[in-house]
Structures are given as structure tokens and as C-alpha cells.
Amino acid sequence: MIETNPGCQTPPRMKELENGVCAPKGFRAAGIRCGIKASSAKKDLALIASDTPCVSAAVFTANLVKAASVRITAEHIARGGVRALVVNSGNANACTGDAGAAAARRMAEAAAAALGTAAAEIAVASTGVIGVPLPIDLIENAAPSLRKALTALREGSDDALEAIMTTDTKKKHAALEIELPGGGTVRIGAIVKGSGMIHPNMATMIAIITSDAAIRAELLDRALRRAVKRTFNRLSVDGDTSTNDMALIMANGEAGNAPIENEGPDYTAFASALETICEKLTRLMARDGEGATKLLTVNVRGAQSEEAAAVLARAVTASSLVKAACFGADANWGRVLCALGYAGVPFSPEKTAIAFASRAGSVTVCKKGGPVEFSEEKAKEILLEEEIVIEISVGTEAGEASAWGCDLSYDYVKINGDYRS
């Protein structure tokens, strides 16, 4: 079930689909093994392509150290709409100098040659180990086979998703069909990889979103940035922001709806559906955080603004002490209040209330910034569940927001202690 956050309006007549990036009309996908992951038999090269030209938009990492693929894709989108994305896993092609930039361009050229289009219409993405030269010959040799494997069936989306995964343990995808208020049915589909090195200002993630909606490029960009701000940028696994983060959307207009040209009801419905999909992907990434055993949702209400509430919520999800307490099922609410205090936005501690909730129930642990009597046994029962909600009220203003994260377990260190092996 797709859930929505407090700031997200559910679009009218929304239906969940199963085909990921292949759900919208005119999109095909594929994933194959080209040998980048030399010690593995896993797929490591993906292609998602539209049969017709697209308008597109993207949001990239805020890290000043950017992978070659991020720079090249930003350049191509600035020139006009991209209609395909080629992605490799096993190698980030980051911090690889001029050779890395040349490899990223060759990657786009190889996909363009296979599809019979211009390299400027191809986006590229890479994920994996930083500081290792990309074996571009393997990608160039595999491009014809990758093109041949393209399919509009669900298996194409599944194969592409498998090919972009690194430390992910679960496949993460979503798709929706919505009826626009002005008439017409459009679809949005998405896949994402992301498990570790995740923190606001784009997580370590590659999100690929497709749509058959006819929509003006500027409005597509606006809708994506709105969704990213309220979802992906409210996710934290470990406090690290990567070099390769990217959320890309392509829309080809194949649905045949009246083009969305202004911020009317059709735009609102489309933007809300996009945000709904991004929130589902955000929750899936948080639940699959490296070494994670629990999904954490932090809801903050009563803040001076939505932005202030988001900053407060993110501070709690990013707190290593809060995350460790959740792993140990310890109702240490003082760590939550402490995280709120260093978030950097004003609030009144003496007006703050905190509660922990899960399917096992709910328990209030703090009122007016101080302790209240509660059952430690009940609190532990609540915190032992796989999904935990931390409810926080900081006042009576209208600002509210949610953020997502996971607990911090022993396995996180194990995974990252030998990542390069």
C-alpha cells in the first residue's frame, strides 16, 4: 500500500500498477551482465528508453565532488530532453579525472548508437566503488545486446532494477495510473537503488522515473523538485551524501492527454502522484538501509513552517544515538529531544511532546519537554517492531513534515568495513 506524508495530496482515482518504469506507454527497459562486477554473476548494466522523444528533468547530488556521469547528464538535460538512460553498477566512475569524463561520454555514445539516436539524448549514471577507472570497453561491447534485450514487459523493469543494485537487498519500484481532472489517463513508473551512504541533499540513490504524460518541461522540473524536497531529501540512513546521486524523470506524452501547460488541477494531480511514488521509494530505501532492521518515520507537527518541521524531523532520523536506541528497542526519548535542539531551527522545548508508536501500540514518553510515567515494558514491545513511528509535537503552529530513516545496527559496520572486496 502506498502511503502519503502529511503534506502530500492524494490524486483522484489513483491505481497502483506493477510494471515499474515500463508501466507508462512507450517505455522499454533491460538489464544484462557485461562483466563490470568481475567477481559476480549479477547483472550490472541497464537501459531504460522511450520509443519517442521526451521532455525530462533531474535533480543531482549537492556534493561538490560529483561523478562524471552526473556532470554529463546535467549537460545533456540542459541541452534538451533526454529519452534514455544507461546505468552501470559496480563502478561509480567518480574521482577518475579526465578519463572518467571521456568514459561517461563514450557510455552515452554507445547507447545512442545502439538506439539510433543522438548522444545528447542519452543520460548516463554509474554506481559502485569510487576512484576506480570505468572499464568502458565492457559497456561498449555490451550495448548491442542491451538494446536487443529491451522489452515493455515487467521483466524489463525488473532486470534493469537488478542491474543497478549494489548493497541493496530488496527491489524497489512503484507505478501509478491516475485520471486527470481535465480528462485523460496517465501513468508514472519508477525504480530506485539506494541502501547506504544516504542523507538529505539527495541520497546515495539513482531514481529513474518514467511517464507517458504530456507536460511542459518547466512544469515537469517543478513537480520533480517539489517531490524530491518532500521525500528523497527527507531520508537519512548514515549521514553521508554520495558523489553519484540522481533522480531523473522522462515524459514522452504517449498518454495523449491534453498537455499540462499551467499549474491547474491536472498539474496538481500529476505532481501529487509523482510525490506519492517518490515517498514510497523513500520508505523502501529507508527500510533497506545497510544493516537496517527497522524503518523509522518521524512526524513533526506544530512547527513555525513546513520547512522548519522538515529540518527538525531530519535531525532526529539522522541522529546516530536515536538510531542506535531504536535498534536496541530503548525508549531513550532524551536523545530525540537532544536532536531537535541542535537541528538549527527555533522551537520551544517546554512545549514539546514525544511518543513512540508501531503496530504494537503507542506510548507517550515526554510532555512539555519533561518526563512522564510510562511502561518501559510496553515501550520496548512497541520498539521491537520492524516499523517505528516517532510522533513529535513542538507547538501549535501549522508547520508539519515527515522524514524517514532506519536503525543503526552492527551489520552497518560489517558491510562498509569490507565494501571494496
Res 200 pLDDT > 60: no
The strand pair at 55-60 and 45-50 is best described as unpaired
Measure the CA dihedral 335/378/364/330, to 10°: 0
Domains in the chain, CATH or no CATH each: 14-287 (3.60.70.12), 295-417 (3.10.20.340)
Burial of 183 (0-12, 13-18, 19+ CB in 10 A): exposed
What DSSP state is assigned to residue 38? T
Per-residue pLDDT reduced to its tens digit, 258-306: 999 999 999 999 999 999 999 999 888 877 755 578 889 999 999 999 9
Worst-scoring range by mean pLDDT, 165-169, 274-278, 400-404, 414-418? 414-418
User: What pLDDT score does 293 carry?
Assistant: 84
151 classed as catalytic: no
Task: Quote the crossing angle between the two packed helices 333-341 and 306-318, to the nearest 10°.
Answer: 130
96, 167, 204, 243: which one is catalytic? 204
160 forms beta bridges with none
Per-residue pLDDT reduced to its tens digit, 367-376: 999 999 999 9
pLDDT tier for residue 331 given thresholds of 50, 70 and 90:
very high
**How far apart are the C-alpha atoms of 209 and 48, rounded to whole Å?**
10
Res 199 pLDDT > 80: no
pTM score: 0.85
